[in-house]
Structure 1
Amino acid sequence: MSRLIPSSRSAATFAFVLALFAALMPAQADTEINGVRFADTITIDETPVPLRGGRLYRYTVFRVYVGALYVPEDVAPQDVLTADVPKRLELEYLRSISAEDFRKSGNTLLEDQQSGDTLAALADRLETFNAAYRDMEAGDRYALEYRPGRGTRLLQNGTELVEVPGADFAEAYFGIWLHPDNPLSTRVRDALIGAS
């Protein structure tokens, strides 16, 4: 029976080890958006960038993904798209989507939003970016991340797939979601930039 009851010394040692373990673990607060958890702050090139907003995106009756946007606090909602600052859009998918569907839908939206001259200037980089898309399953996550002076990265579940240069590319591609006049969804855009 005495073996089942820890001594006060072993209990104190156990409590100390637990406290030490907790102190060594990085504190990671997060926010739940439509049942999906996102970190409150991420780091882009050693710069902490806070969560601005997020929302579920539906296509007709289908729940497609939950998105969250990270952008510095001092950027006004109307300036999020054009500001030359670190930013990241994370999208956790709730259903399977093929790489080809990503390419087609992205190209269609860009054609609706951008001029022919802009699309011509982006064509080579857009082809490089589109070639990096992979098939996604429910629970997978893409991140579109802009790093000033370096370019726009596409990450799949935290692994970089591609990076293309140019603030102009970042503005056009983030514009799929954040365009001031013709975004994929006005409700999603406003929730992401903190306008609603």
Structure 2
Amino acid sequence: MNTRSIRLSMALGLAMMLGTGAAPALADTFDPENSLGDSTLTLQGSGTASYMIWDVYDAALYAPPEANENAIVNAEVPMRLILEYHRDVGAEDIRKATWVALDEQYAGEERERLRPKIDAIQNAMIDVTDDDRYRLDWDPEAKRLTLSLNDETRFESDDRELARAYFGIWLAEPPLSDKLRAALLSRVD
């Protein structure tokens, strides 16, 4: 199988997310707390996104300890989502997987209205390699959505709708992966 075929298979696998869930080893990977602006965020849950036999990335969701699922899904509270990769994944593969989820969540005019916003954040993304970390932060008080790769800011926006939609890839119904969504929200009341 050539590299292009492997990458296409990975993109399809990312889109389907066949096997995901919480992993005990993740306790050492992610800190129990993070801060964002003036907010202290606690780890709400973590899981591993896998395709066939390969772990693709570990994910962790942070939000205020009192946040409920509705407030998180609707981007009403400060949040942080971290994706730590275990494989080389091309930005184009990430885009394809993203649109698999968004195409299920948004229809017709609403999807097309969101498309330029989604394209803007995705155009800031680059290929990732083993140990790279994408971090997505939303601070509703400062009205600031930030995408960082390895602590280098790649994108910023003040658009709450974009924050809700982009976090929604993992957290809204139907998510990219039901099992990963459950793992990320496992500590939310």
- TM-score class, shorter-chain normalisation, is 0.7 to 0.9
Residue identity in the other structure for 1:167: R
Which range moved further: 73-82 or 39-48? 73-82
Match of 2:154 in 1: 161
What is the CA–CA distance in structure 1 between the aligned matches of 2:28 and 2:169, rounded to whole Å?
Answer: 22
Classify the secondary structure of the residue corresponding to 2:116. helix
- 8 Å CA contact retained: 1:71, 1:88: yes
Classify the secondary structure of the residue corresponding to 2:73. coil
Identity %, equivalent residues: 32
- 8 Å CA contact retained: 2:78, 2:139: yes
What is the CA–CA distance in structure 2 between the aligned matches of 1:177 and 1:133, rounded to whole Å?
Answer: 17
Classify the secondary structure of the residue corresponding to 2:29. strand
Moved over 6 A (4+): none
Q: How does 1:1-196 map to 2 (within 5 A)?
A: 33-34=25-26, 37-148=29-140, 149-180=142-173, 182-194=174-186
What are the ranges of 5 or more consecutive residues in structure 1 without an aligned counterpart? 1-31
What is the CA–CA distance in structure 2 between the aligned matches of 1:35 and 1:47, rounded to whole Å?
Answer: 22
Higher relative contact order (CA 8 A, sep 6+): 2
What is the CA–CA distance in structure 1 between the aligned matches of 2:176 and 2:163, rounded to whole Å?
Answer: 16
Matched length: 164
- Taking a change above 3 Å as real, the CA distance of residues 169 and 33 of structure 1, as seen in their structure-2 partners, is farther
How far the C-alpha of 1:94 sits from its partner, in A, is 0.6
- TM-score by length of structure 2 reads 0.79
What is the CA–CA distance in structure 1 between the aligned matches of 2:144 and 2:133, rounded to whole Å?
Answer: 20
- 8 Å CA contact retained: 2:147, 2:154: yes
